[in-house]
Structure 1
Amino acid sequence: MILNHVSRTRAPLRVALTGANGGYGRTFLAQLALTPEIRPVVLVDPDTAGVRRMLDELGYPAERVAESADPATTARAVEQGQVALVASQDALDWTVIDVLVEACGRVAAGFGYASAALDHGTHVVMVSKEVDTVVGADLGARAAANGLSYLPGDGDQPANLLRLVDWVSAVGLDIVALGKSGEYDLELDPATGRVTQAGVTVEAPALLNLLELGDDVAGTLARRAEAVTGLKRAAAADSCEMTVVATRTGTSADVEAMHYPVARIAELADIYAAREDGGILEHDGVVDVFSALRLPGEASFAGGVFAVVRTGDPTVWELLRGKGHVISRNGKYACIYWPYHYMGVETPLTVHAAVDRVPALPARWTMMLAARAAEDLAVGTTLRVEGHHHEIAGVAPVMIDPAEAVAPYYLLDGARLARPVAAGSLIGLADVEGVDEPALAAYLAGTAATTTTNGDDR
């Protein structure tokens, strides 16, 4: 049974999706079959044949799909009720698009799509978090100035965490830390002492004696981390997502690479507490990522999001502890969490929010994702964002206070080093050549801009 929702009564919203032939795109398009008030009218991807195959698998009738290489053909297809497949921005006609869902994942292309959308009066839902960390402040300011929406897309952790922040703030709780779990849990088999993460298994018998935090929280976390050193737990995508959150909430990383504790869900309120209370934090207002440790059969955190808050009346919070909520052992902190992110399944929420001009926190240049050389890098080295985790070989992503001379991590995609960079050094704008000039200009504009909210000031 699908309950009718008030949103079903609105006239259909016409949506264009970039990066259509990806996992996120598929989840979004599959969901739109159940939300008739949102109509996918233009799908953008260089692999138009792959998009067509996906639509066939999703049950889209072949006669409803048409390829286009120019704006006029695109507009005609949309007017005839078809889904237009296009390979690039050159074939877009913005007059038939109400909302752009940008999911290509590349700064130069993503900025080009989003910038053009705003120039033509089209709202932007930004799924490409890489793009947002470089030009989000500028795009947000431009959208606000033109009475348009620029929003991170629900279904990915940044937007989900911002929704949780809105809830926490609305009820008046004092935020200590915000964050998410890593993409994949660590599953410990108590019979063998092996830990499996995303299909990779390592021997970790030491964890069998570290399932309780004990009194030395930092010490226990250090020993757990040592036990799973064979697993890749940190990813540039994590730092990217937390930067999106930080630029909208004024939070920051406690340490530039984040803590990444190996933790069980019930421990989060004890771990993300001030050091004087036995936790790991140097200050309030922290963003971080943890590796969720669980036993077989236990529920997953599912890449979900959390907020650690200070408690109030002890009796109230002991009552909540009794109902199964995560409260610290000393009763001073609580962890509120949503154990999910459903990718494109949730993105219709943002499409509606964009058109309704729902007020939202703006992106501000309060934190940046920078690149620190993990090894000596020679002149002429080409920096490329590659792989599932969207990382640059030889370069570590770090979250730092804004610095005008430092290059944003994802702006470096395709750039070359104009001079050597020593291991441990931050890569500066003056160190590289060949960056995308429009994105660079937008980044520099965003660093100077004071953005407003998505709708009315909050």
Structure 2
Amino acid sequence: MNLYSLMQQRTAESGPIRVGVIGAGKFASMFLTQAVGSAGIHVVGVADIDVAKAKAALARTGWPAERYAAASLDEAARTGGTAVIDSADALLVHPAVEVILEITGNPIVGTYHAVTAIDNGKHVVMVNVEADCMVGPLLQRRAQQAGVVYSMAYGDQPALISELVDWCRTVGFDVVAAGKGTKYLPEYNYSTPDTVWNYYGFTDEQLASGDYNPKMFNSFLDGTKSAIEMAAVANGTGLIPQDEGLNFTPAGVDDLSSLIIPAANGGTLSRKGTVEIVSSLNRDGSDVFRDLRWGVYVTFEAVTDYAVQCFAEYGVKTDPSGRFGELYRPYHMIGLELPVSIASAVLRGEPTGAPTGFRGDVVTTAKKDLRAGETLDGEGGYTVFGKLAPAATSLERRALPLGLAHGAKLIRDVPKDQTVSWDDVELDETQFATRIRRELEAEFRAEHAEAAMVG
């Protein structure tokens, strides 16, 4: 609880924390508007393949033009300014940069950026959950071996959920489930970039701001992003996804401790110690009362009768038995909160959440009947969506991770709602991210097999 004082001390003694930003979309914009007034953070460079877009993001978020006029990273490091460049490679190797913020949302390039940053001795704040859920467990091990921090992004929901789980375990409760809220109906699984704005109800003025990518927002809607984030939470906390994945149970904040508990105790979960999404919509499309659409939660169980008594005495919201409680945060502020991860990595050497194993995976699932010869378009597109599965199930099915589904060519038909496997597609096996994922699967398949034998 003393990060701010540590930042002040660091700034006074050796200057601000030096950061490189890769990607200049909405999340980055939210971080940049906080960084512009921070004495403890120096954004040395912003890299985006569209330099004009990156400069527009800086201007829109309150940066005077002279602040990002540096002609090079060397000049930016020397003068305290910021360079805007079209290639991330210079940021990844520049000696002035201490922390890389990977915010592209692209799992293929994100994997390369993270590995390169780690190999060059830089901390990585992996905003790119798409890459993290695909190869994060391996990246974390690589970072640990290199003596740097690989971290979830504070402000994004996986890190905030992991924080709630950590609180729960530290104080001595049994974690029942953890997750977040979202807007969901079963029909959304089949949404495409052509239908997404109608479902969201965004205005033309909002869309004109330049922050809204239809594929990205469609991935929020069709269940993919929820699967991605819950896989990250599972990998970071040790919670195991349910065999069926996510139920998207309609539940408001007053219902968590009654609904998001095991079915044997009157709830909806098929197992304890898992992850779950709660929907802000009832299945008939009506709004859930006091929904948690923007927030995160944990449900937990008292381990003694005296703790149950304390729940009642202090007004803890519980199920009818009084044993299951809940704690929630009603909203998250994504990039606005990112400085917490930066400060934690540099000043404490601690991540704000990180993978500790491979427990959850996002498997590629057909949105429609797919035919051999078709090319998949990945997250938020027209052809597939992501479903959460236990990692052991994914490995057993040889499921294609969603992060590799963009550009993959089908060599066999796949019916609607069926999992796409490695055997159903033709991939470039020389691609860096594919090789890293193959390495992860080989390593963890062996670990899962060994654990099964011991069990």
Q: Which runs of 5+ in 2 are unaligned?
A: 186-197, 203-219, 445-455
Q: Which residue of 2 aligns with 1:309?
A: 300
Q: Confirm whether residue 329 of structure 1 aligns to residue 317 of structure 2.
A: no
How has the CA–CA distance of structure 1 residues 170 and 434 changed in structure 2, closer, same or farther, with 3 Å as cutoff?
Answer: same
* Mapped contact 2:118–2:143 kept (Cα < 8 A): yes
Q: Aligned-pair distance for 1:74?
A: 2.3
Superposition map of 1:173-212 within 5 A: 173-182=173-182, 198-199=200-201
* Residue of 242, 250, 253 corresponding to 1:254: 242
Superposition map of 1:82-97 within 5 A: 82-92=81-91, 93-97=93-97
Q: Aligned-pair distance for 1:425?
A: 3.0
* Residue of 382, 399, 407 corresponding to 2:400: 407
Distance 2:288 2:268 in 1: 29
Distance 1:291 1:422 in 2: 27
* Residue of 232, 253, 259 corresponding to 1:244: 232
Q: Which residue of 2 aligns with 1:211?
A: none
How has the CA–CA distance of structure 1 residues 124 and 238 changed in structure 2, closer, same or farther, with 3 Å as cutoff?
Answer: same
Q: Which residue of 2 aligns with 1:215?
A: none
Which letter does structure 1 place at the counterpart of 2:174? D
Q: Confirm whether residue 15 of structure 1 aligns to residue 47 of structure 2.
A: no
How has the CA–CA distance of structure 1 residues 37 and 449 changed in structure 2, closer, same or farther, with 3 Å as cutoff?
Answer: farther
Q: Which residue of 1 aligns with 2:190?
A: none
Q: Which residue of 1 aligns with 2:65?
A: 62
Query: Structure 1 vs Structure 2: percent identity of aligned residues?
Result: 30
Distance 1:59 1:28 in 2: 11
Distance 1:314 1:234 in 2: 42
Post-superposition CA distance 1:36-76 (Å, at most 9, x none): 111111111122112212322333232221365xxxx3223
Distance 1:123 1:4 in 2: 19
* Mapped contact 1:302–1:341 kept (Cα < 8 A): no
* Mapped contact 2:241–2:359 kept (Cα < 8 A): no
Which letter does structure 2 place at the counterpart of 1:86? I
Q: Which residue of 2 aligns with 1:103?
A: 103
* Mapped contact 1:257–1:397 kept (Cα < 8 A): no
419-428 vs 324-333, which moves further? 419-428
Distance 1:30 1:64 in 2: 13
Q: Aligned-pair distance for 1:265?
A: 0.9
Post-superposition CA distance 1:160-217 (Å, at most 9, x none): 11111111111011011111111589xxxxxxxxxx98448xxxxxxxxxxxxxxxxx
* Mapped contact 1:47–1:87 kept (Cα < 8 A): yes
How has the CA–CA distance of structure 1 residues 368 and 286 changed in structure 2, closer, same or farther, with 3 Å as cutoff?
Answer: same
* Mapped contact 2:184–2:223 kept (Cα < 8 A): no
Q: Which residue of 2 aligns with 1:365?
A: 358
Q: Which residue of 2 aligns with 1:141?
A: 141
Q: Aligned-pair distance for 1:23?
A: 1.3
* Mapped contact 1:184–1:198 kept (Cα < 8 A): no
Q: Aligned-pair distance for 1:424?
A: 4.0
Superposition map of 1:355-434 within 5 A: 355=346, 356-358=348-350, 361-385=354-378, 390-402=379-391, 403-404=394-395, 405-434=398-427
Distance 2:184 2:337 in 1: 20
* Mapped contact 1:158–1:245 kept (Cα < 8 A): yes
How has the CA–CA distance of structure 1 residues 256 and 36 changed in structure 2, closer, same or farther, with 3 Å as cutoff?
Answer: farther
Aligned length: 398
Distance 1:278 1:296 in 2: 23
Q: Aligned-pair distance for 1:34?
A: 3.8
Distance 2:262 2:184 in 1: 27
Q: Which residue of 1 aligns with 2:438?
A: 444
Q: Which residue of 2 aligns with 1:226?
A: none
Post-superposition CA distance 1:386-415 (Å, at most 9, x none): xxxx42423232222334422101211122
How has the CA–CA distance of structure 1 residues 378 and 198 changed in structure 2, closer, same or farther, with 3 Å as cutoff?
Answer: closer
Which letter does structure 1 place at the counterpart of 2:408? A
* Mapped contact 1:233–1:291 kept (Cα < 8 A): no
Partner of 1:266, secondary structure, is: coil
Q: Which residue of 2 aligns with 1:79?
A: 78
How has the CA–CA distance of structure 1 residues 233 and 279 changed in structure 2, closer, same or farther, with 3 Å as cutoff?
Answer: farther
Post-superposition CA distance 1:73-113 (Å, at most 9, x none): 32233322221111122443421210001110001111121
How has the CA–CA distance of structure 1 residues 375 and 301 changed in structure 2, closer, same or farther, with 3 Å as cutoff?
Answer: closer
Distance 2:265 2:84 in 1: 56
Q: Which residue of 2 aligns with 1:456?
A: none
Superposition map of 1:28-43 within 5 A: 28-43=31-46
* Mapped contact 1:272–1:308 kept (Cα < 8 A): yes
Distance 2:100 2:115 in 1: 10
Which letter does structure 2 place at the counterpart of 1:253? P
Post-superposition CA distance 1:307-330 (Å, at most 9, x none): 111124556545544654321122
How has the CA–CA distance of structure 1 residues 375 and 322 changed in structure 2, closer, same or farther, with 3 Å as cutoff?
Answer: same
Distance 2:87 2:313 in 1: 55
More helix by share: 2
How has the CA–CA distance of structure 1 residues 4 and 98 changed in structure 2, closer, same or farther, with 3 Å as cutoff?
Answer: closer
Distance 1:85 1:361 in 2: 29
* Mapped contact 2:362–2:386 kept (Cα < 8 A): yes
RMSD of aligned Cα (Å): 2.8
TM-score, length basis structure 1: 0.80
Distance 1:183 1:348 in 2: 28
Distance 1:379 1:329 in 2: 53
399-408 vs 121-130, which moves further? 399-408
* Mapped contact 2:245–2:389 kept (Cα < 8 A): no
Partner of 1:283, secondary structure, is: coil
How has the CA–CA distance of structure 1 residues 261 and 302 changed in structure 2, closer, same or farther, with 3 Å as cutoff?
Answer: closer
359-368 vs 324-333, which moves further? 359-368
115-124 vs 355-364, which moves further? 355-364
TM-score, length basis structure 2: 0.80
Partner of 2:42, secondary structure, is: strand
Distance 2:42 2:84 in 1: 14
Q: Which runs of 5+ in 1 are unaligned?
A: 186-195, 201-231, 451-458
How has the CA–CA distance of structure 1 residues 277 and 172 changed in structure 2, closer, same or farther, with 3 Å as cutoff?
Answer: same
Distance 1:183 1:103 in 2: 23
* Mapped contact 2:135–2:440 kept (Cα < 8 A): yes
